[in-house]
Structure 1
Amino acid sequence: MNQREAPVVIIGGGIVGSSIAWFLAQRGVKALLLEKSTPGFEASSRAAGGVRAQCRDTTDERKLAMASIEVWKTLAEATGTDVEYTQGGTLRLAATDDRLAELTAQSHEELADGLEVEMWDEAELYRRKPFLAPGFIGAKYCATDGVANPRLVTPAIAAAAARLGAEVWEETEVIGIDRADGRITGVRARNAQGEWSIAAPKVVHAAGPWTPQLSTDLGFEIPIVPSRTIIGRTEPLPRLFTEFISSHDAGVYARPDARGCIHIGAVGRSIGDFEEVTEADVRTYLEKRSNLIPALGEAEIEEVWWGTLAMTPDRTPILGVVEGLDGYYLASGFSGHGFALGPGVGKVMSELILDGEPSVSLDGFSLARFGEDVQFGKGRIQGTG
């Protein structure tokens, strides 16, 4: 068996793992990033592309999203790659009194946390967005939210990490995590060069929906289940809007890209939906686009794809150290929000690893919050970033 050493091993080369490697490298720590395919190939490149701070479930997640947006603002310059990041805003629509009350309550929390949002009544909404389908009674708008191109971002971050000295091993499968006397000692992996025993005092597990597969080696379960997401892209269209627009009531979102195409996806699949995506599924979800913007109903769909989300019972990521196992860190279970949060998570996880104290609190993301009796309900997901 081949032998290696590394100061930090990161399992998973999605946007989260790549961002952690990048921020560690910026501080002179040359981590070894192990990716079973290529950086961003799975969930990160198939995301909706939303980068938002509004409509987060908790203050901790909202603060993390706001910190991540600060990283997004300089990402193109820092990586040397135009990742098509724009701050065109997000617009969350309400078609019922209950939904409008929910958005209004959120707005009070967001404003208290320093996030600038606006509530629009029905008249204001249709004055600004007359192209929307009828039936909405209000909306919440955040101007500082935006979008980026998921197919460009993670490769750019991984390449930037490599230029600073991080090692990125593609086509490398991690087959085990080793520990002794309550401490992480390394991992076992295999690739085209054979099997590897990699000694490392710190291991970051950022393998998304596949994170639980290795947790049994360590004697505990990580409460993450996979779920599918479906996205379609229209032909280029005349510019109609800049925002990422979504509605739980209509069950759909739409957002423009740099070419003028509109990306359309489902809002509201249940936790645990991981059946194979069928042609009927695709038709069902894409037909919902007219419920949001009637003009999209006639647009030709150029491409359809699906990805995999890593869902936790409360739709909140698992981040931080694992109690009772020194040197083991989790950064997974983003529940459809990893694309937006990823760069910020890279920064705060690198601070946790190197300094022991991140600049944004991770208290609300601990694995310990689930206790021993974990139940997955039929919670709803959005998966918009």
Structure 2
Amino acid sequence: MAPRVDPVTSSETVPHKTSVVVIGGGIVGVSTALFLAEKGIPVVLCEKGRIGAEQSSRNWGWTRVMGRDPKEIPLGMESLKLWRRMNDITGAETGFRQAGIVYLCETRAEVEKYEEWLEHARPFQLDSRLLAPGEIDRVLPGSAVPWAGALHTPSDGRAEPTKAAPAIAEAARRLGATILTGCAVRGVETKAGHISGVVTETGRIDCDSVVLAGGAWSRLFCGNMNLHLPQLKVLGSVLRTQPLDGAPETTAGGGNFAFRKRLDGGYTVARRNASTSDITPDSFRLFFDFLPNLRTSWRELRLRIGSRFLEEWRIPRSWSLDQTTPFEQVRVLDPMPVEKTLAEARENLGRAFPAFRQMQIAESWGGLIDVTPDAVPVISPVATLPGFFLATGFSGHGFGIGPGAGKLAADLVAGDTPAVDPHPYRYARFVDGSWKKAS
């Protein structure tokens, strides 16, 4: 069952011309459109399905800086600044609450891992700190486990995935952006080597720039343009509970569970460190791209082979712009969750926090996460195609850092001083191989 996302009404007319077309109506795409519109730049956002209907509404709803790759910390900090103002920016309830996040440690080795991260984070002057065993219950009461320690960041927060992207899209519309749903972009057109327009299923839109924020679809779109984008899909399984009394307000993750309180009084629950990776044709095509980081990430992935291999084998990898595309054939990716993984999450969480033993499951869902080899997003122009920009590969971090990513993408398109240093997110690192030396 897919989460129920707040609806966004599509604009009634498709403009023949604009300055920028944003492809994809997830949290990053709508944020890009919002900040472009805020700059007074004409922008059209094209979403093949519904706003926020894929991973942007299916994630955990965490908005964190804690535990990020050091390359992502500045983007996370910029995003949190925006999240704190998001209800005012959008004039709507996005669910943001600065309730803090805790990572719980069962062993001394886990504590030492977070001590090492704190050394990397120290230059950013974050409020993250390690909690001794005796301090944990004051921040996160109700646990039945004798934790070895915990990492706590009071300034981190949470928001509602089913509300945030739609609210940002409506705010962008009020600033002049055109929001089109049920409107797939089939491809781009160029003139003298520069972006000159896009072809949608309903016709052409002339434009000077395109931002591809297509999430799990981005690699397929780039492939039709002969652009190599090393990106795989990973399945996350999530559930939400009915309203539950007596459980913590603070968001938390242990080694094998994670939870976040929701606006409705229920909780979003997942099995931490246990995503499912379906073996597909791209698993073989991109094997050597992902090989360098398999040593550190394989423990968090559960490999399986099944029907998805044949499903993706049958998807066309190239098409002409007058043909129906895969984006029109599948409007919304809606995979089934892995029930075994969710059962583990319930059992592990109930063991750690007895209040959750009484949880009643309201619904569960799956979501496909776009992952890069170094788990760092691409927010970047593409040098070989002036006017074409990527904002993709968020590797499960897109909801939390989405507003900052959209602001950075808008700055790059506009040629303004970027909100944060864009160098770590450049597409060229996968062309010249420099990401391997930095990992």
TM-score by length of 2: 0.79
Structure 1 position 374, deviation (Å) = 11
2:175 corresponds, among 144, 164, 176, to 164
Q: Determine the structure 2 residue equivalent to 1:206.
A: 213
Q: Determine the structure 2 residue equivalent to 1:382.
A: none
Q: Determine the structure 2 residue equivalent to 1:253.
A: 258
- In 1, are the aligned partners of 2:101 and 2:152 still within 8 Å (CA)? yes
Map of 1:355-370 to 2, 5 A cutoff? Answer: 355-370=415-430
Secondary structure at the aligned position of 1:371 is classed as helix
TM-score by length of 1: 0.90
Secondary structure at the aligned position of 2:143 is classed as coil
Structure 1 position 285, deviation (Å) = 3.5
Larger deviation, residues 6-15 vs 275-284? 275-284
| C-alpha separation in 2, matches of 1:179 and 1:53 | 39
Larger deviation, residues 231-240 vs 359-368? 231-240
1:311-347 deviations in Å (ceiling 9; x for gaps): 1111111111112211111101111111111111122
| C-alpha separation in 2, matches of 1:187 and 1:139 | 49
Structure 1 position 76, deviation (Å) = 0.5
Corresponding letter in the other structure for 1:20: T
Corresponding letter in the other structure for 2:198: V
| C-alpha separation in 2, matches of 1:245 and 1:271 | 21
Map of 1:49-198 to 2, 5 A cutoff? Answer: 49-58=61-70, 60-126=71-137, 128-190=139-201, 195-198=202-205
- In 2, are the aligned partners of 1:253 and 1:292 still within 8 Å (CA)? no
Structure 1 position 259, deviation (Å) = 2.4
Q: 1:343 to 1:5 in 2, by over 3 A?
A: same
| Residues 1:227 and 2:227 are matched in the alignment | no
Secondary structure at the aligned position of 1:320 is classed as strand
Structure 1 position 270, deviation (Å) = 4.7
| C-alpha separation in 2, matches of 1:287 and 1:301 | 13
Larger deviation, residues 278-287 vs 164-173? 278-287
Which stretches in structure 2 are left out of the alignment for 5+ residues?
Answer: 1-13, 280-307, 309-335
Corresponding letter in the other structure for 2:113: E
| C-alpha separation in 1, matches of 2:15 and 2:250 | 50
| Residues 1:339 and 2:344 are matched in the alignment | no
| C-alpha separation in 1, matches of 2:85 and 2:128 | 22
Larger deviation, residues 161-170 vs 214-223? 214-223
Identity %: 31
Corresponding letter in the other structure for 1:213: L
| C-alpha separation in 2, matches of 1:196 and 1:312 | 32
Structure 1 position 131, deviation (Å) = 1.6
1:201-248 deviations in Å (ceiling 9; x for gaps): 10000000100111123222111111111111122122432211012x
Corresponding letter in the other structure for 2:229: I
1:268 corresponds, among 273, 281, 300, to 273
| C-alpha separation in 2, matches of 1:309 and 1:374 | 24
Secondary structure at the aligned position of 1:132 is classed as coil
- In 1, are the aligned partners of 2:90 and 2:171 still within 8 Å (CA)? yes
Structure 1 position 130, deviation (Å) = 4.3
Corresponding letter in the other structure for 1:81: A
Structure 1 position 166, deviation (Å) = 0.5
| C-alpha separation in 2, matches of 1:197 and 1:110 | 46
| C-alpha separation in 2, matches of 1:189 and 1:154 | 22
Q: Determine the structure 1 residue equivalent to 2:300.
A: none
Corresponding letter in the other structure for 1:27: K
Q: 1:307 to 1:33 in 2, by over 3 A?
A: same
| C-alpha separation in 1, matches of 2:422 and 2:73 | 12
Corresponding letter in the other structure for 1:253: A
Map of 1:256-335 to 2, 5 A cutoff? Answer: 256-270=261-275, 272-273=277-278, 276-335=336-395
1:39 corresponds, among 46, 51, 64, to 51
- In 1, are the aligned partners of 2:219 and 2:230 still within 8 Å (CA)? yes
| C-alpha separation in 1, matches of 2:60 and 2:382 | 30
1:39-64 deviations in Å (ceiling 9; x for gaps): 11111111211111110012x31011
Q: Determine the structure 1 residue equivalent to 2:37.
A: 25
1:14 corresponds, among 13, 26, 37, to 26
| Residues 1:351 and 2:411 are matched in the alignment | yes
Structure 1 position 197, deviation (Å) = 1.7
| C-alpha separation in 1, matches of 2:39 and 2:368 | 32
1:48 corresponds, among 32, 39, 60, to 60
Secondary structure at the aligned position of 2:224 is classed as helix
> What is the aligned-residue RMSD (CA, Å)?
2.2
1:20-47 deviations in Å (ceiling 9; x for gaps): 1111111111201000112111111112
| C-alpha separation in 1, matches of 2:405 and 2:197 | 22
Q: 1:273 to 1:101 in 2, by over 3 A?
A: farther
Aligned length: 369
Q: 1:61 to 1:35 in 2, by over 3 A?
A: same
Larger deviation, residues 293-302 vs 145-154? 293-302
Larger deviation, residues 108-117 vs 83-92? 108-117
Q: 1:127 to 1:71 in 2, by over 3 A?
A: closer
Structure 1 position 375, deviation (Å) = 11
Structure 1 position 126, deviation (Å) = 3.7
- In 1, are the aligned partners of 2:141 and 2:248 still within 8 Å (CA)? no
Corresponding letter in the other structure for 2:170: A
Q: Determine the structure 2 residue equivalent to 1:215.
A: 222
| C-alpha separation in 2, matches of 1:350 and 1:373 | 26
Structure 1 position 272, deviation (Å) = 3.2
